[in-house]
């Protein structure tokens, strides 16, 4: 071996050498080691001479180091995996001169042929840790795994580890003193059972087109960000589902990574670059990232508000671009809550136009409750109300309030809990409540401002793109919440289907069908005359949708500096086959940057050619 890591076999563990670690099994219980990749034997010896201040320092080859640190005497040590055929033949033909060296082909090697776009879905396999090995060993001492096994890491590899791994076989061979095989104890043979294969719901070609569309959208948003001196845009998500059964048609999280590198091996520099990349390519943002949903959340709130009776299809509120909510202790002062449109506002707005034009003032009224502040603290306070610009008239809130909002989100759309997709690492998201706020922020009290922010999908509310897609799909299909699925079937080695995954209905929304139709119509008008009319460039088949721009971060002069770009859509409108959720992280306006991505995904699905 030309490469030789330097190993310190004695000496104090000093805080000024934090890269050195305790290594058992090399003769000293307090031995320390520092691995230096890429050193030749001459360079390693020179390093030892330079560090003459460290007593006992010596250089070991990689093989010597592996032998010294191999603590499981009952398990063969893997010196090299996936060797070339010529090397394997040379070693095998000289086994009499290499006692203890065995060449075998029992270890199968994963080949991920789908490319980087499938890495987050599939995950990868890696060596089992000692902690995992001990945790899976039964109380009787029976080991589920061996110490040199590999196990699933992330995605399907992790979630379906037991289905994929199969059962190892075994042969008992009698050998002579020269190591030559004489005969097999056939009565002790145990045949191996192949693990099952997974058939996905995702079409490879469509996944590639979704990846291309999302990357183009990220590049477009990033170019604008650099021109406007905003932080770079590097990440995004696109997820597509069949809203009639929950099957995932495509799932892309960018940036991604090459999961084959975990199989073929990578240098320390490559590994460090991967795990320390600020863009976090290992994170599957589709299921593990949580974000403020912004205005794509408004159809959900509209469903709850209609069902609870705080609004009806014809009820109108006037939008003059902002409202002022006075302080309970000082009517002359208060907080301003603006509508995104600016200027003179949207005018008179009902639920259809509120969804289509994404009117914030309308949804402030859906969310903020008809409550009075605590009379003990504010004995002269009126019911919660607001003022329009230049208008002294009090307008009283009559909305849901945070308790009914939170209850509706949890009970209707299962928010605040994983969707139970067959992928590892799914986040729960956050449906905030006054109790959560007090516990999380040391007694901080919930205000009407917190409710107002949640009402437009901002504030403390957090959702994963998968949760957003699943909720949108439930509205699109008329009221059924399905469990999202990426697995279509489990298949045996001979091609026989062992288990076919059937659609799993989680619940029927208790929202009346007429209310869902009202919201659907608002989402249709979003495309025909509202904020989605520009990004959706085709009219056949008809599409419903919603744009969203979710402000987050620290406000400067009352305005937020950063925004996530969202767009949700489904089609055909009357009998939808596909629902899509697109997020470009820090991408700014949803209709400008996320909308075209959704448009290109839908065009790819429906086979619509560019004009």
pLDDT in tens, 154-193: 999 999 988 888 887 888 888 887 667 788 888 788 888 8
Question: Between these two residues, 89 and 23, which has the higher pLDDT value?
Answer: 89
pLDDT band at 13 (very low <50, low <70, confident <90, very high): very low
First and final C-alpha spacing in the chain: 61
Helix (H) or strand (E) holding 331: strand 330-338
- pLDDT value at 26 more than 50: no
Question: For the segment 295-334, what is each residue's pLDDT rounded down to a tens digit?
Answer: 999 999 999 999 999 999 999 999 999 999 999 888 889 9
Q: Does position 536 have pLDDT exceeding 60, yes or no?
A: yes
pLDDT level of residue 14 (50, 70, 90 thresholds): very low
Distinct helix (H) and strand (E) counts, the chain: 19, 24
- Residues with Cβ within 8 Å of residue 597, at least 6 apart in sequence: 213, 214, 216, 217, 236, 238, 567, 582, 584
**Residue 397 CA, distance from chain mean position:** 37
User: What pLDDT score does 265 carry?
Assistant: 80
The per-residue pLDDT for 611 is 64
Q: How buried is 147 (Cβ within 10 angstroms: 0-12 exposed, 13-18 middle, 19+ buried)?
A: middle
pLDDT average, residue stretch 52-67:
75
What's residue 557's pLDDT? 64
Residue 91: alpha-carbon gap to chain centroid: 45
**560: pLDDT confidence band, cut at 50, 70 and 90?**
low
Residue 138's pLDDT is 64
Q: What is the pLDDT of residue 139?
A: 60
pLDDT in tens, 225-266: 999 988 899 999 999 999 999 999 999 999 999 999 888 888
Q: Is the pLDDT of residue 25 over 50?
A: no
Find the mean pLDDT for residues 446-474: 97
- State the average pLDDT over residues 383-400: 95
> Is pLDDT above 80 for 351?
yes
pLDDT at 37 (0 to 100): 63
- Which residues lie closer than 8 Å to 516 by C-beta, 6 or more apart? 303, 475, 478, 479, 509
Closest CA to 298 of 539, 541, 526: 526
Do 427 and 286 contact (CB within 8 A), yes or no? Answer: no
Say how far apart CA 429 and CA 401 lie, in whole Å: 20
Q: Which span out of 138-147, 440-449, 554-563 was modeled with the highest average pLDDT?
A: 440-449
According to DSSP, the residues that pair with 247 across neighbouring strands are 485
Whether pLDDT at 147 is above 80: no
| Tally of CB atoms within 10 A around 12 | 11
- Burial degree of 346 (CB within 10 A; 0-12, 13-18, 19+): buried
Length of the chain: 611
- Kindly report, residue by residue over 469-527, the tens digit of the pLDDT: 999 999 999 999 999 999 999 999 888 999 999 999 999 999 999 999 999 999 999 99
Query: Cα separation of 571 and 544, whole Å?
Result: 6
Share of the chain above pLDDT 90, in %: 61
Return the HEC string of 468-504.
HHHHHHHHHCCCEEECCECEEEEECCCCCEEEECCCC
Q: Are 62 and 4 in contact (CB under 8 A)?
A: yes
* CB 402, CB 450: distance < 8 Å: yes
d(CA 5, CA 20): 12
Angle at 104 between CA 154 and CA 78, to 5 degrees: 55
| Range name among 8-12, 33-37, 582-586, 602-606 with the lowest pLDDT average | 8-12
CA distance 594 to 236: 9
Q: Pick the residue with more confidence: 151 or 2?
A: 151
- What is the per-residue pLDDT for 347? 96
Instruction: Give the pLDDT of residue 229.
Output: 87
| Model confidence pLDDT, tens digit, residues 182-223 | 888 887 888 888 889 999 999 999 999 999 999 999 999 999
User: 559-571 and 544-556 as β-strands: parallel, antiparallel, unpaired?
Assistant: antiparallel
**How far is residue 11 from each of residues 66, 124, 158, 361, 391, measured CA to CA in Å?**
21, 39, 41, 69, 79
426 three-state secondary structure: coil
The answer to which of 31-40, 60-69, 215-224, 483-492 has the lowest mean pLDDT is 31-40
What does the alpha-carbon distance between residue 467 and residue 286 come to, in Å, rounded to a whole number?
9
Going through 379-447 in order, the beta strands assigned E by DSSP cover: 385-386, 395-396
* Nearest by Cα to 570 from 331, 91, 240: 240
What CA–CA distance (Å, rounded) separates 120 from 157?
A: 10
Q: How confident is the model at residue 34 (pLDDT cuts 50, 70, 90)?
A: low
- pTM > 0.75: yes
199: buried, middle or exposed (CB in 10 Å: 19+, 13-18, 0-12)? middle
């Amino acid at each position: 071996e030309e490469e030789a890591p330097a190993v310190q076999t004695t000496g104090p563990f000093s805080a000024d050498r934090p890269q050195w670690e305790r290594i058992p099994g090399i003769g000293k219980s307090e031995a320390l080691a520092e691995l230096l990749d890429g050193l030749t034997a001459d360079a390693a010896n020179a390093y030892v001479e330079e560090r003459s201040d460290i007593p006992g320092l010596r250089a070991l080859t990689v093989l010597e180091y592996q032998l010294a640190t191999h603590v499981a005497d009952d398990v063969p040590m893997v010196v090299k995996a996936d060797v070339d055929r010529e090397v394997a033949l040379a070693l095998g033909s000289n086994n009499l001169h290499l006692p203890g060296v065995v060449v075998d082909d029992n270890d199968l090697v994963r080949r991920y042929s789908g490319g980087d776009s499938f890495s987050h879905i599939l995950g990868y396999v890696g060596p089992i840790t000692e902690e995992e090995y001990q945790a899976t060993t039964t109380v009787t001492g029976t080991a589920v795994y061996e110490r040199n096994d590999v196990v699933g890491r992330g995605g399907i590899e992790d979630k379906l580890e037991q289905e994929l791994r199969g059962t190892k076989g075994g042969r008992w061979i009698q050998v002579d003193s020269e190591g030559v095989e004489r005969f097999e104890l056939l009565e002790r043979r145990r045949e191996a059972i192949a693990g099952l294969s997974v058939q996905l719901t995702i079409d490879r070609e469509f996944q590639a087109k979704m990846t291309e569309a999302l990357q183009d959208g990220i590049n477009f948003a990033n170019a604008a960000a650099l021109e406007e001196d905003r932080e770079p845009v590097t990440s995004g998500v696109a997820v597509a589902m069949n809203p009639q059964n929950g099957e995932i048609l495509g799932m892309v999280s960018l940036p991604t990574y090459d999961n084959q590198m975990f199989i073929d091996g990578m240098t320390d520099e490559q590994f460090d670059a991967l795990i320390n990349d600020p863009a976090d390519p290992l994170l599957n943002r589709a299921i593990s990232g949580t974000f403020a949903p912004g205005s794509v959340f408004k159809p959900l709130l509209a469903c709850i508000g209609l069902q609870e009776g705080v609004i009806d299809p014809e009820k109108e509120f006037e939008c003059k671009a902002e409202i002022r909510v006075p302080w309970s202790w000082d009517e002359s002062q208060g907080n301003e809550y603006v509508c995104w449109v600016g200027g003179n506002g949207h005018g008179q707005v009902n639920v259809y136009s509120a969804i289509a034009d994404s009117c914030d003032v309308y949804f402030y009224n859906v969310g903020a409750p008809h409550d009075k502040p605590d009379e003990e603290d504010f004995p002269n306070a009126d019911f919660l109300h607001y003022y329009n610009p230049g208008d002294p008239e009090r307008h009283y809130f009559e909305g849901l309030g945070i308790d009914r909002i939170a209850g509706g989100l949890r009970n209707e759309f299962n928010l605040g809990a994983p969707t139970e997709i067959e992928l590892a690492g799914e986040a729960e998201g956050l449906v905030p409540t006054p109790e959560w706020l007090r516990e999380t922020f040391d007694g901080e009290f919930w205000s009407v401002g917190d409710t107002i922010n949640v009402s437009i999908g901002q504030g403390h509310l957090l959702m994963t793109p998968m949760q957003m897609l699943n909720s949108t799909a439930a509205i699109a299909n008329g009221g059924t919440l399905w469990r999202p699925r990426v697995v279509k079937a489990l298949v045996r080695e001979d091609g026989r289907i062992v288990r076919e995954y059937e659609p799993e209905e989680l619940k029927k929304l208790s929202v009346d069908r007429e209310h869902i139709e009202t919201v659907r119509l608002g989402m249709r008008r979003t495309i025909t005359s509202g904020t989605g009319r520009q990004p959706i460039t085709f009219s056949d088949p008809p599409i419903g949708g919603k744009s969203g721009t979710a402000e987050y971060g620290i406000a400067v002069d009352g305005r937020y500096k950063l925004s996530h770009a969202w767009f949700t859509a489904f089609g055909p409108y009357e009998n939808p086959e596909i629902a899509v959720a697109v997020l470009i992280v820090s991408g700014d306006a949803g209709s400008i940057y996320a909308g075209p991505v959704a448009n290109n995904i839908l065009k790819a699905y429906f086979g619509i050619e560019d004009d």
